[in-house]
Amino acid sequence: DGGITQSPKYLFRKEGQNVTLSCEQNLNHDAMYWYRQDPGQGLRLIYYSQIVNDFQKGDIAEGYSVSREKKESFPLTVTSAQKNPTAFYLCASIRDSGAGQPQHFGDGTRLSIL
């Protein structure tokens, strides 16, 4: 079955540490997205990528970095510059980035501070 796999499901970060969240999709989708979810806040866009080797900042990109070296992979690094990283992180993808297409979501990674 095709889908989006996020790993790990739970992740803990120490002060001053960078951590990387994995997102892999086998849907052959062109565009991929990272969202952050906080209680009562809905989802906020961190970064997105419409094609390989290209990505754009979303609304809350500060303290995060991404890469898109392969179509199926879009890892997110939470750097030490992100002072409040505790949240639920969701990765999504879409077949093409034309308007009107729903996004498919992974099951998320919950990041906490030690």
Partner 1 sequence: AQSVTQLDSHVSVSEGTPVLLRCNYSSSYSPSLFWYVQHPNKGLQLLLKYTSAATLVKGINGFEAEFKKSETSFHLTKPSAHMSDAAEYFCVVSSGYSTLTFGKGTMLLVSP
Burial 35-60 (b: 16+ CB within 10 A, else e): bbeeeeeebebbbbbeeeeebeebee
53 touches partner 1 (CB under 8 A): no
Specify whether the CB–CB gap between 64 and 80 falls below 8 A.
no
52 touches partner 1 (CB under 8 A): no
102 touches partner 1 (CB under 8 A): yes
Instruction: Please identify, among the stretches 17-25, 60-68, 72-80, 104-112, the one whose residues bind partner 1 according to the rule CB under 8 A.
Output: 104-112
Specify whether the CB–CB gap between 95 and 29 falls below 8 A.
yes
Binders in 60-89 for partner 1, by CB under 8 A: 88
Query: Contact positions toward partner 1, by CB under 8 A?
Result: 4, 6, 31, 40-45, 48, 50, 58, 88, 90, 92, 94, 97-108, 110
